[in-house]
Amino acid sequence: LRFDSPLSVNIGGGLSINSPEAVDSKPTEFLVLTSKLGYKFMEKTLSTFLGLNIVSGSKETGSDGSGGIDNIKMTLKAGAQYKLTSSMSVGLNINFISLSDNITPTNDFSELKGKLKFKMSF
């Protein structure tokens, strides 16, 4: 479905289930949700976006109490790209990543990443 608009919306998701053949092994499940909202300003000279990705993983612990997974990773993304000419642009992307592990809290972390890019087409 497509509209002639400077606004764009993307939404997606998926589920992965790995079920091992071994009877004593537990299945591993990952649920992924993703979304992105974009807008183009100044006759498509400035493009911006905001996005959110969520990945949730789970697996029951084995009979020996190991191998369990219970975590969630969230990434908030923002970015902008400015067209300097028809063949040159400059952009900035920023990602904030947060991981929460309910089984091993020492694995929890947050991270801020950024990328500045210059693009030239020939």
**pLDDT tens for each residue of 81-113:** 999 998 999 999 999 999 999 988 999 999 999
Between strands 28-41 and 88-101, the pairing is: unpaired
Give the pLDDT band (50/70/90) at residue 1.
low
Q: Which residues contact 70 (CB under 8 A, 6 or more apart)?
A: 57, 58, 59, 101, 102, 103
- How confident is the model at residue 114, as a pLDDT? 98
CA contacts within 13 A on the Cβ side of 11 = 2
Domain edges within the chain: 7-120
Percentage of residues in the chain having pLDDT higher than 90? 73
Structure token digits, residue 61: 């612990």
pTM, full prediction: 0.82
pLDDT at 64 exceeding the cut of 80:
no
